[in-house]
Amino acid sequence: MSKPYELTATEAIRLIQNRELSISEWVSSCFSRIKEKENVVKAWIYLDEENAIKKARELDNTNNSNLLGIPFGIKDIIDASDVPSGLGTPFYENNIPARDAASVAVAKESGCVFMGKTVSTELGHRAPGLTTNPHNKNHTPGGSSSGSAAAVSALMAPICFGTQTTGSVIRPAAYCGVIGYKPTYGDFDKSGILPNSPSIDTLGLISRSVEDISLFRSILLEEKLVEPKRINLKKLRIGFVKTPHWNKTDISTQNKLESFIETLRLEKFDITDLNIDKLISKADKLHVDVSGYEFKRSISYERFNHYNELSDILRNGRLSDGYQVTNELYKKAIKEVQVLKNDIDTVFNNIDLIITPSAPGEALKGIEYTGSALFNTTWSLCGNPCITIPLFRGDQNLPIGCQLVTKFGSDNQLLDYAKSLFELYLK
């Protein structure tokens, strides 16, 4: 039998309901796993073990099957009450919020067990923490949701919260060989999460099964679970989008994705080579202006009070971009984003599902650079739901994700497609 920490949330809950596992055993098992692996993976910045174990025991005693007991971790730029919010910096050790982020409050209310805070890059931007890739400690886990992706990949937690402004959920999940899901913009609340670029920022989920994503989505929406369905993928109109950045992907990503698409075509899937390069290039440009301008504003306190403690990558990166953008240019960009969103919406009138790389390749060697978000910018800016599923392995034997994208608002369909494709490919 699997050890409890190896289970997905959906599997563990089934065992708990059959009285073959207790919530305490599950939670304790996750913390044991952390003790075993954390030394190398360094996924966590704060562990709340004592309270988590206490909460798990209380849940076992209530015997209320509506209280699910799922242990979860949250990225360090997300607030939990009475626990330090370091925001991925060394200067916020004493920042202890009085309130849970709304998403954390909702998860706790449904009986989920808060485990602690996972490593974030600096202020959710690019300067990395110490986390390593669980598949090879000499490689980056990706970022900015580095610790969340690594913790789930290393079987320390079944699910963790991440956030995405460019590629900060999809990329680390792909690099760490797990599932990363960024919902439709606006679906998950962001109260109590450090804003980076509020018109783009999205709370996302990282897990090891599509069912767990659906389950946690229902928890955060406070709605009845919509279970992902196995559907006939041959009925879908699928667009394969190489993007203008295809030549920046490594050879193994190109080969794996192309041969996967070829296999599906041979099996009579309806797949079009979809060229939306112009829209993607437009999104890339607009994303720089909008995210730069908004980021510069959001971190004003740090800009003025901790400038010398900020990394060069932040000061010379998005912050510097932000200083180039006037309010007039920003508002012009915001209007153009609206036009772009409509254009992307129109693309999905003729396409049910886009398949595209999750990242340019396997996780890069070294932990200094969290990798490129070239394949994520458009979907972040336009707010489309997307998910990465770990379908391939590259030349360095590291995971390669496959990104699926659907129309704005079609999250349940996306999860159906992801489940179906994942199961099909693993069969």
Q: Which residues make up the interface to a second copy (CB under 8 A)?
A: 81, 92, 94-106, 108-109, 184, 186-187, 189-192, 194-195, 198-199, 221, 223, 294, 297-305, 326-327, 330-331, 334-335, 338, 409
Q: Which of residues 42 and 55 has its CB atom nearest to a second copy in the complex?
A: 55
Q: Give the Cα separation of 314 and 306 in Å (integer).
A: 12
- Minimum distance from residue 206 beta carbon to a second copy (Å): 21
Q: Which of residues 294 and 362 has its CB atom nearest to a second copy in the complex?
A: 294
Q: Which of residues 175 and 181 has its CB atom nearest to a second copy in the complex?
A: 181
- Minimum distance from residue 250 beta carbon to a second copy (Å): 37
Q: Which of residues 41 and 325 has its CB atom nearest to a second copy in the complex?
A: 325
200 and 381 Cβ atoms separated by less than 8 Å: yes
Question: Buried b / exposed e across 25-38, counting CB within 10 Å, b at 16+?
Answer: bbbbbbbebbeebb
- Minimum distance from residue 88 beta carbon to a second copy (Å): 14
- C-alpha triplet 348, 378, 396: angle, nearest 5°: 110
The values of phi and psi at residue 393, to 5°, are -130, 145
Q: Give the Cα separation of 73 and 80 in Å (integer).
A: 10
How many Cβ atoms sit within 10 Å of the Cβ of residue 402? 24
Tokens of 210: 């599509």
Q: Which of residues 232 and 327 has its CB atom nearest to a second copy in the complex?
A: 327
- Minimum distance from residue 371 beta carbon to a second copy (Å): 26
- Minimum distance from residue 47 beta carbon to a second copy (Å): 21
- Minimum distance from residue 91 beta carbon to a second copy (Å): 9
What does the chain come to in residues? 427
Q: Which of residues 97 and 317 has its CB atom nearest to a second copy in the complex?
A: 97
Q: Give the Cα separation of 341 and 338 in Å (integer).
A: 5
69 and 23 Cβ atoms separated by less than 8 Å: yes
Tokens of 337: 């984003």
Q: Which of residues 271 and 334 has its CB atom nearest to a second copy in the complex?
A: 334
- Minimum distance from residue 315 beta carbon to a second copy (Å): 16
Tokens of 167: 């590629």
Which residues are 273's β-sheet partners? 240
